[in-house]
Structure 1
Amino acid sequence: MPEPRTTETVRSAAVPDAAARADEPEQGPAPAWRHAVGTVLRTVESRTFKLLFVLAMVGLGIYSVTSQWTDFSRGIDRLGVVAAIEALAFVVLSLLLTLEVWRSLLSAAGSRLPIRASARIFFIGQLGKYIPGSVWPVLAQMELGRTYKVPRQRSATTAMLAMMIGLTSGLLATLIGLPFMAGGSAHTYWWAFLFIPPLLVCLHPKVLNPVIAYGLRLLRKPAPETPLTGRVIGTAIAVNVASWFCYGLQIWVMTARLGHGGGSALLSAVGAYALAWCVGFLIVLAPAGAGIRELILIAELSPMVGSGAATAIALVSRGLTMLADLAGAGVAALLGRGTADPSPAPSEDAA
């Protein structure tokens, strides 16, 4: 049995604690905005939301194709089915090269994914470009990447870096074809070339890595485990330039069917398509550069094949690009089923 003095000591020590707890103000209910944010985050993380998100992207792609099907079919009637099939093959090859660029950047950032998982994220995410604004493919890839445990900030960084490299390589490809372009679009959109120097500076590892680390620090996220190297960036630019040549070959096989082949016609087609894409990308209000790309292609091809044939080529090119995007997303969705890690994704993104 404890001595009275000890009991009094324990009781006297317990009283202040109880009194202090009684004096503490009780915490009220959490603010309404915190509940709202939590609800939104839980909804975004749900499988139902991701399924509806993917279906919405596919639906937009289908709508984009069907809404322009009449002009597309008229263009094929003029150019021929064989030329369209050849052009489609080069578009698919270009998309595969672009996928490899994105996959190599994601791997260098720390998320090495199998080709089927990479294709599923990339091709389905690409359908977001048919919504006005360049941010939607990034958001789509962020959510799709979570299925494969790719942190959101890593997906966002990779997507934006891939866009920068695509724009830089496109402008460089335009410079290669510039001496052979006769439509005057380069003079009209001269301001696009002003982006080349700052883009090259920003892509230098000594500038790029600190900027990425600073941006992640602002978001209270750890810095990347492995910094990007000049070899990774240089290879990505080179492969992307090759993809622009494939897009140029898409245009060239159609002009060749009209009797305008040769090396100068090919370089002109490469420069014209690359410029059309870059300007369409910079004018963010146009979904996937719709309208702007066709205007530039028609202006550049008209001196070579005439305005009527140039219009047909531009419309067929647009239709083939949309078909390739939609087919790529469909095939990737089918082949990518079952490739995700069944274990739940972490609640907080790791670097």
Structure 2
Amino acid sequence: MKRLVRVAFLVVALGFGTWVVARQWDDIRAGFALLSWPGLVLSLLAVIAALGGGMMTWRALLADLGSPLPLRPAAKVFFVGQLGKYIPGSLWPVLAQMEMGKELGVPRSRSAAAFFLTMPVQLGSGLVISGVTLLAAMPGSAAPYAWVFLLIPVLAVAFEPRVVNAVLGFGLRKLRREPLERPLTRRGMLTALGWALLGWTAYGLHLAAIVHDFGPSGLSAIVFSVGAFALSWCLGIMTFVVPAGAGVREVAMVAILAPVLSQGQAITVALCSRIVIIVGDLVCAGAAGFAARRDVGPTHDQTTGKPV
């Protein structure tokens, strides 16, 4: 039964991912025709590295909460679960990760806590790196979005482990769940933030590889691309009602790229970026699932130590 549910989840997630591509196929085909193969390959490699950074962010938080997972099983849980973001509704990824994590002995409450902590970590680190890089590369480009950066002090307070642990404890009590056995530590939070910043840098390199084919190049263009991608993604993260922030991130990216590209070029770049990321998600999920097959074996509940 579990296998049937997992297959159904993958089929639905892949179906929505395919629909996103098919709906804009004419624009996508025209956009990709303007890009070089080296640029696309570099962009995809950077996306895979960035997705790896996201996985390591989540894995660091999960380990700090008491469930350290080996790399390959962790990658499978994260990347396969993340395909759920293409299904309308915001809870599919966390539900998938909770169920797959349970098979590895990770309590569902711990999987949920790691998932929901990953989002503010990515949001906070994304806002910081976008503010720094946009100001460094092109100071005036960040001015229209100054209101977004007002969230940084709020998130900085939220990253204090004592605050996080208190919020998690309150939420679990309201849900009538058992409290977390192990609180989040400052070291764990800093490790997660470090991985998140590396992930944003890789995402920026992915965008820079695409933008390069339209003219802008050099260190300034790369730094600007890091900020442009991080800020547009953060705006997408704030929109929970659409699959993977679909549409919101692209609109924001077109606006943020306006100082360096024409509107038509910016639209093409945003569409190509979206498709490369979808391909990256599929590649990572497929590779992680294949690699984790070698690790199949008895698992134990990481709370009780008993077989599951």
TM-score with structure 1 setting the length: 0.79
Contact kept? 1:148, 1:340, Cα under 8 Å: no
> Of the candidates 92, 98, 103, which is equivalent to residue 147 of structure 1?
103
What is residue 246 of structure 2 aligned with on the other side? Answer: 290
Change (3 A) 1:214 1:300: closer
1:306 aligns with 2:262: yes
Any idea what SS the aligned residue of 2:177 has?
coil
Change (3 A) 1:343 1:276: closer
> Of the candidates 143, 162, 186, which is equivalent to residue 206 of structure 1?
162
1:95 aligns with 2:23: no
Q: Partners in 2 of 1:282 and 1:234 — Cα distance?
A: 22
Any idea what SS the aligned residue of 1:113 has?
coil
Between 158-167 and 221-230, report the one with greater CA deviation.
221-230
1:337 aligns with 2:293: yes
Change (3 A) 1:183 1:281: farther
Between 332-341 and 226-235, report the one with greater CA deviation.
332-341
1:71 aligns with 2:23: no
For structure 1, which runs of at least 5 residues remain unmatched after alignment? 1-42
Contact kept? 1:183, 1:300, Cα under 8 Å: no
- Stretches of 4+ aligned residues off by more than 4 angstroms: 181-186, 340-346
Q: Partners in 1 of 2:72 and 2:26 — Cα distance?
A: 33
Which structure's CA Rg is the greater one?
1
Contact kept? 2:134, 2:141, Cα under 8 Å: no
**Offset from partner CA, 1:304-343 (integer Å, 9 cap, x none):** 1322222221111011001101111122222222534446
State the Cα distance separating 1:197 from its structure 2 match. 2.0
Q: Partners in 2 of 1:292 and 1:329 — Cα distance?
A: 24
What is residue 123 of structure 1 aligned with on the other side? Answer: 79
TM-score with structure 2 setting the length: 0.89
What is residue 324 of structure 1 aligned with on the other side? Answer: 280
CA-atom RMSD, angstroms?
2.6
Any idea what SS the aligned residue of 2:193 has?
helix
> Of the candidates 197, 215, 220, which is equivalent to residue 264 of structure 1?
220
Change (3 A) 1:134 1:91: same
State the Cα distance separating 1:226 from its structure 2 match. 2.5
> Of the candidates 157, 166, 174, which is equivalent to residue 130 of structure 2?
174
Any idea what SS the aligned residue of 1:336 has?
helix
Q: Percent identity?
A: 41
Change (3 A) 1:330 1:209: same
State the Cα distance separating 1:252 from its structure 2 match. 1.2
For structure 2, which runs of at least 5 residues remain unmatched after alignment? none
Change (3 A) 1:129 1:191: farther
Any idea what SS the aligned residue of 1:304 has?
coil
Any idea what SS the aligned residue of 1:337 has?
helix
2:60 is aligned with what amino acid?
A: S
Q: Partners in 2 of 1:172 and 1:290 — Cα distance?
A: 23
Q: Partners in 1 of 2:242 and 2:56 — Cα distance?
A: 26
Q: Partners in 2 of 1:51 and 1:257 — Cα distance?
A: 39
What is residue 152 of structure 2 aligned with on the other side? Answer: 196
Any idea what SS the aligned residue of 2:276 has?
helix
> Of the candidates 216, 221, 244, which is equivalent to residue 172 of structure 2?
216
What is residue 205 of structure 2 aligned with on the other side? Answer: 249
Between 163-172 and 192-201, report the one with greater CA deviation.
192-201
Q: Partners in 1 of 2:11 and 2:251 — Cα distance?
A: 31
Change (3 A) 1:144 1:191: farther
Q: Partners in 1 of 2:77 and 2:220 — Cα distance?
A: 37
State the Cα distance separating 1:135 from its structure 2 match. 2.6
Any idea what SS the aligned residue of 1:132 has?
coil
Change (3 A) 1:68 1:149: farther
**Offset from partner CA, 1:121-171 (integer Å, 9 cap, x none):** 101111111233433221221122122121111110000001110111111
State the Cα distance separating 1:344 from its structure 2 match. 8.9
1:164 aligns with 2:110: no
